[in-house]
Amino acid sequence: MTAVTPFMKGHENLGPLESRYVDVASLPWKKTPTEGVDMKILMEDKETGMLTALFRWAPGSVLGKHEHVEIEQTYVLSGSIVDDEGAALEGNFVWRPAGHQHVARSPNGALVICFFLKPNKFLEGDLAGQELK
């Protein structure tokens, strides 16, 4: 099994088919390359690029133009995430097909859970050419 929850205590003692009960509050927030956006990795598989994570957006944060290489799913726990096509408000869900490109913003801040099958590909700015979640 290549999927793990980084920083999860006791993970190394679990058998390959045992459930992983994650104490999310004990996981650290990790800075992302995007100013004002931090993440908690709930599950990742570095071999495939699959990732489930909480993202905490500070008010005014902007994620530069990027492409979703595979389907991306976002559920908004609080606040909102907006782009030129619309807004995902608290309690709502948005998913984007593979190949979708956009700039995401959070005017008032947000807490979201996202599911990625592959990392995003950044198209503009300092992150252009990089594949990041």
Q: Return the domain boundaries, the chain.
A: 3-11+28-132
Q: What mean pLDDT is predicted for residues 88-99? A: 95
Q: What mean pLDDT is predicted for residues 94-114? A: 95
Q: Which residues are bridge partners to 115 per DSSP?
A: 52, 73
How is domain 3-11+28-132 classified at the CATH fold level?
A: Jelly Rolls (2.60.120)
What is d(CA 17, CA 86) in angstroms, rounded to the nearest whole number? 40
pLDDT digits (tens, 9 = 90+) for 12-38: 788 888 888 999 999 999 999 889 999
Asked whether the predicted pLDDT for residue 46 surpasses 50, the reply is yes
Predicted confidence at residue 129, as pLDDT, reads: 45
Predicted confidence at residue 130, as pLDDT, reads: 46
What is d(CA 38, CA 40) in angstroms, rounded to the nearest whole number? 7
Q: What mean pLDDT is predicted for residues 101-126? A: 85
CB 89 within 8 A of CB 72: no
Q: Which is more confidently placed, 128 or 92?
A: 92
**Count of beta carbons in the 10 Å neighbourhood of residue 57:** 26
Q: 3-state DSSP call for residue 24?
A: helix
Asked whether the predicted pLDDT for residue 58 surpasses 80, the reply is yes
CB 41 within 8 A of CB 27: yes
Predicted confidence at residue 1, as pLDDT, reads: 54
Q: What is the CA radius of gyration of the chain?
A: 15
